């Protein structure tokens, strides 16, 4: 049940929330979630905690004031060892991006969940089609989201064939994936394209030949906002786009609800990002703050 907005709700104990990962100093997740806490007058704080190993933040998870966390690479595949339980979806995907704290009497339960897939599932239209996935990092959640959206003939391209084959086998009992060595091996133009490769490792020439007459292009990388993949998609009429920020927001809405029981204040979260980016632009151009 959603909580009502109240500035005097003394029953809510302050909690600490985090994003765990490596190379995440640029993360805008604190901007998103702290805007949500502020909207509901919740006394919580969300902060970045970088580490090379998930073991380095075990103390934060064990702390009684720990309220939950977002988990990004490289910890998504290892944080399960610090969880009391996992959701069935997290187990199937093989990756956890959300930690949730619950209590059963005096027992404190840390549940590992995955909202990467559910955020993508909200963006991908439910229609039969031919999705192509150019992958690394969040690939498992993206593939599962495609399956749940009812998409057929799912193609996976990964720079490490052995990794792609492992992912294929892990999902084999649930749905089928065709592994390709490169995007140029696509037997037909896809209707949905999801990229999970860091944008700085790609260039426009990689993608010019894969777009058909119409479809949806999603890039989960959001630095920069307009990636090489999305730039090529924009040149093709009939294609709609979803940026990495769109995906980040979609999964963050699910996280916020799981942590607080409150409906995420989407407008406030979006405006917080816009204000954050305006502030960065002033700094870049030498403007005053």
* Token output for 99: 């930690």
- What is the domain partition of the chain in residue ranges? 16-114+251-285, 117-242
Give 19's contacts (C-beta < 8 A, 6+ positions apart).
27, 29, 30, 46, 47, 48, 49, 69, 70, 71, 72
Q: Report the DSSP pairing between strands 85-86 and 66-71.
A: unpaired
CA dihedral 225, 228, 233, 235 (to 10 degrees): 100
Query: pLDDT 10s per residue in the chain (289 long)?
Result: 444 444 444 589 999 999 999 999 999 999 999 999 999 999 999 999 999 999 999 999 999 999 999 999 899 999 999 999 999 999 999 999 999 999 999 999 999 999 999 999 999 875 556 667 665 557 899 999 999 999 889 999 988 889 899 999 999 999 999 999 888 899 988 999 999 888 888 999 999 999 999 999 999 988 888 999 999 999 999 999 999 999 999 999 999 999 999 999 999 999 999 999 888 766 654 543 2
Domain 117-242: homologous superfamily in CATH: NAD(P)-binding Rossmann-like Domain (3.40.50.720)
Distance, CA of 249 to CA of 272 (rounded, Å): 11
Q: 227 vs 133, 156, 232, 255, CA distance in Å?
A: 15, 20, 9, 25
Indicate if 117-242 has the same CATH topology as 16-114+251-285.
Answer: yes
* Token output for 225: 């906002």
| CATH 3.40.50.10860 describes domain 16-114+251-285 | yes
* Token output for 56: 């380095």
């Amino acid at each position: 049940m959603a909580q009502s907005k109240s500035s005097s709700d003394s029953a809510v104990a302050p909690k600490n929330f985090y994003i765990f990962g490596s190379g995440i100093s640029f993360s805008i997740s604190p901007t998103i979630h702290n805007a949500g806490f502020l909207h509901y007058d919740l006394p919580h704080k969300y902060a970045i905690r970088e580490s090379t190993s998930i073991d380095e933040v075990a103390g934060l998870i064990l702390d009684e004031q720990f309220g939950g966390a977002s988990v990004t690479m490289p910890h998504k595949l290892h944080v399960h060892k610090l969880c009391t339980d996992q959701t069935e979806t997290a187990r199937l995907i093989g990756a956890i991006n959300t930690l949730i704290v619950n209590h059963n009497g005096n027992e404190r339960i840390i549940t590992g969940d995955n909202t990467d897939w559910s955020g993508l599932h909200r963006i991908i239209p439910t229609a039969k089609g031919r999705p192509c996935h150019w992958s690394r990092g969040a690939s498992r959640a993206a593939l599962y989201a495609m399956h749940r959206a009812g998409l057929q003939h799912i193609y996976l391209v990964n720079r490490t064939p052995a990794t792609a084959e492992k992912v294929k086998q892990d999902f084999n009992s649930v749905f089928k994936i065709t592994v390709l060595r490169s995007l140029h091996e696509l037997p037909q133009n896809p209707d949905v394209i999801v990229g999970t490769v860091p944008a700085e490792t790609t260039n426009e020439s990689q993608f010019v030949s894969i777009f058909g007459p119409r479809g949806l292009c999603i890039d989960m990388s959001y630095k920069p906002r307009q990636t090489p993949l999305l730039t090529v998609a924009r040149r093709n009429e009939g294609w709609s786009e979803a940026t990495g920020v769109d995906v980040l927001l979609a999964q963050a809405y699910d996280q916020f609800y799981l942590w607080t029981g409150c409906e995420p204040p989407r407008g406030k979260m979006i405006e917080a990002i816009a204000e954050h980016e305006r502030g960065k632009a002033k700094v870049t151009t030498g403007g005053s703050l």
